A and B are shown apart, each in its own frame.
Chain A
């Protein structure tokens, strides 16, 4: 569990907690710009998006949420894995290296999702492309002090705060940020580019008051404790709900494309007109699309939308947890916002729970 309270007994016990006034934070970011690619939440149409910034005034640290999660900076929607030439027995050229990057303003739900992705891409087949970018990136996260909107359920999923996964973690104290230092790299960044000060007793008290005030603003939306989710899912394979969701679902994949924990991709070769050179590309894929589970020979082992919806929610609520020890859903609510037919994790999980309680399947 995250530090819900910071001890105020002595300042030495809180060496990891420092304070940066908002104007000093602006200076800090401005000093990073010449040395790092800096990415953060910026306005985009009527929403927000994680984009590279050129100027600190573009940043909106108080944004509610983004359409796509910050994942795209580690796993781009489309990337070139390598280029090749079919001459002289074949030549392979690696893609350009990622510049050192700082991602600002990551919310804790997304932070939990990145921790899951780190586990996925570093275990089994080590993914040099994802991990290459990940290792060159510092994350400066920020605590949410009120719900981003009615779709989020981070409190249920245990992602409304985080005690690791960040290099620096900010909490907005009004005219300053309290900064929790998560890693040595984060400490160095602060040391080299900012003029932060160790938190005083009053500032720690203020931080505790802010954190105290935040929790009641978030409501629980699941009708059961999240620790039960995996077993609820296990007993739901034959639920009639899947057929119902399958009838409604448009198979548009918006839910998986906006999800911070989805990581399915497709790999293809693209050949140039000279028919000699080309590139191997990787694109995001989705289990909700019609031909996702079509294998050589044309057989589709998840041809129905009902089976695909079941697969999606089984992954979110159980399979990922079994395989990677992190929940496959962080409660960010993006899929619920994106779905035009109102298929949401909260309503799905609650309905499965209800069916089991009432023995209706």
Chain B
């Protein structure tokens, strides 16, 4: 707690596009009253001060090199609550896609003849390195969900992140299902909470919010095959944001 009694919060970024931090700034513009109840001590994207005394840490970005690990562990030591902010931190996100190719090839593709200058390993969610209390899913996060998570944390409650499929929000909006229009969608296995924004604008859900706890993967696969997707297509849609999770599942099955 700071001397004014407000909990201190801090934002950190790892491998990411910073879109989630920008969404936080957006939501602060919509809800400036948030600053009446918390004190932000560190937020590189928005301020120059750097306080190291914080209770809640919001971490954006995946961990994509060994040298990120001590920094993450330091944050974990300091913060009472660590929240993964967005798909990169929550899932590994698009960064984890590189795991689908040999690391040497990826390094050459990205850094060319300077490949050896850069340290890198398979991108992973921060939960692969430190204990994470909560995650705000999405690529980018939903600004209203960010506010509702902060509210819940201040009230000492568990953040209200849904654990049901996206189809629920999509149907409640009265959308025509993308499958009816000959498109495909991962809504039935994806965690809701974004308000089904992609299907509402005619775009397939690619599970940027990660999977629900009990997805029916076999049935989802059948639906995608029925819709005309090849095995390669299915791998490609299933791994857009969730390569790390899909690989974990395959490893668990042995």
State the A residues within 8 Å of B (CB): 44-47, 49, 67-68, 72, 77-78, 247-254, 257-258, 268, 270-275, 284, 286, 289-291, 305, 337-338, 340-341
Interface extent on B, as a size class?
A: 35 or more
From known contacts A249-B216, A250-B188, A273-B34, infer whether A340 and B179 are also in contact, taking CB-CB under 8 Å.
yes
Tell me if B4 is interfacial: C-beta within 8 Å of chain A.
no
Partner of B163, one of A45, A252, A275, A290: A290
9 A/B residue pairs, CB under 8 Å, sorted by A = A67-B176, A252-B188, A253-B171, A254-B177, A257-B167, A257-B171, A289-B164, A291-B163, A291-B164
Partner of B37, one of A45, A68, A258, A275: A275
Residues of A contacting B158 in the complex (Cβ-Cβ under 8 angstroms): none
Residues of A contacting B180 in the complex (Cβ-Cβ under 8 angstroms): 46-47, 337
Are B168 and A273 in touch, CB under 8 angstroms?
A: no
Are B167 and A341 in touch, CB under 8 angstroms?
A: no
Tell me if B97 is interfacial: C-beta within 8 Å of chain A.
no
Q: A249-B216, A254-B177 are in contact. List 8 more A-B contacts (CB 8 A).
A: A49-B174, A249-B219, A250-B189, A257-B171, A257-B172, A258-B171, A273-B34, A291-B163
Residues of B contacting A272 in the complex (Cβ-Cβ under 8 angstroms): 151
Residues of A contacting B31 in the complex (Cβ-Cβ under 8 angstroms): 273
Partner of A338, one of B36, B171, B213: B171
A253 nearest in chain B by CB position: B168
Residues of A contacting B129 in the complex (Cβ-Cβ under 8 angstroms): none
A80 and B163 CA atoms in complex are apart in Å by 22
A289 nearest in chain B by CB position: B164
Tell me if B155 is interfacial: C-beta within 8 Å of chain A.
yes
A290 and B160 CA atoms in complex are apart in Å by 16
Are A250 and B219 in touch, CB under 8 angstroms?
A: yes
Chain B window 16-55, contacts with chain A (Cβ cutoff 8 Å), 1 for yes, 0 for no: 0000000000000001011011000000000000000000
Partner of A248, one of B33, B151, B219: B219
Tell me if B222 is interfacial: C-beta within 8 Å of chain A.
yes
From known contacts A249-B219, A340-B223, infer whether A290 and B171 are also in contact, taking CB-CB under 8 Å.
no
Are A341 and B36 in touch, CB under 8 angstroms?
A: no
Are B219 and A341 in touch, CB under 8 angstroms?
A: yes
Residues of B contacting A68 in the complex (Cβ-Cβ under 8 angstroms): 171, 174
A72 and B172 CA atoms in complex are apart in Å by 9
Are A67 and B174 in touch, CB under 8 angstroms?
A: yes
Are A254 and B37 in touch, CB under 8 angstroms?
A: no
A253 and B163 CA atoms in complex are apart in Å by 13
Tell me if B187 is interfacial: C-beta within 8 Å of chain A.
yes
State the B residues within 8 Å of A (CB): 31, 33-34, 36-37, 147-148, 150-151, 154-155, 160, 163-165, 167-168, 171-172, 174-177, 179-181, 187-189, 212-214, 216, 218-220, 222-223
A72 nearest in chain B by CB position: B174
In the assembled complex, the CB of B51 is this many whole angstroms from the nearest CB of chain A, namely 22
A265 and B153 CA atoms in complex are apart in Å by 25
In the assembled complex, the CB of A247 is this many whole angstroms from the nearest CB of chain B, namely 7
Are A253 and B165 in touch, CB under 8 angstroms?
A: yes
Residues of A contacting B36 in the complex (Cβ-Cβ under 8 angstroms): 273-274
A47 and B177 CA atoms in complex are apart in Å by 10
Residues of A contacting B218 in the complex (Cβ-Cβ under 8 angstroms): 247
A197 and B168 CA atoms in complex are apart in Å by 46
Residues of A contacting B168 in the complex (Cβ-Cβ under 8 angstroms): 252-254, 257, 286, 289
A254 and B187 CA atoms in complex are apart in Å by 11
A67 and B177 CA atoms in complex are apart in Å by 9
Of the candidates A251, A274, A337, the one having the most CB atoms from chain B within 10 angstroms of its own CB is A251
From known contacts A252-B165, A253-B167, A271-B155, infer whether A77 and B216 are also in contact, taking CB-CB under 8 Å.
no
A274 nearest in chain B by CB position: B33
Are B33 and A341 in touch, CB under 8 angstroms?
A: no
Are B176 and A253 in touch, CB under 8 angstroms?
A: no
A264 and B4 CA atoms in complex are apart in Å by 45
A131 and B37 CA atoms in complex are apart in Å by 40
Residues of B contacting A275 in the complex (Cβ-Cβ under 8 angstroms): 37, 151, 154-155
In the assembled complex, the CB of A58 is this many whole angstroms from the nearest CB of chain B, namely 16
B164 nearest in chain A by CB position: A289
A68 and B31 CA atoms in complex are apart in Å by 33
Partner of A46, one of B154, B167, B176: B176
In the assembled complex, the CB of A318 is this many whole angstroms from the nearest CB of chain B, namely 25
Residues of A contacting B164 in the complex (Cβ-Cβ under 8 angstroms): 251, 253, 289-291
Residues of B contacting A274 in the complex (Cβ-Cβ under 8 angstroms): 33, 36-37
Are B165 and A250 in touch, CB under 8 angstroms?
A: yes
Are A305 and B216 in touch, CB under 8 angstroms?
A: yes
Residues of A contacting B175 in the complex (Cβ-Cβ under 8 angstroms): 45, 67
Are B34 and A250 in touch, CB under 8 angstroms?
A: no
Partner of B213, one of A47, A273, A290: A290
A258 and B180 CA atoms in complex are apart in Å by 15
A258 nearest in chain B by CB position: B171
A250 and B213 CA atoms in complex are apart in Å by 12
Are B174 and A290 in touch, CB under 8 angstroms?
A: no
Partner of B223, one of A77, A247, A341: A341
Are A252 and B187 in touch, CB under 8 angstroms?
A: yes
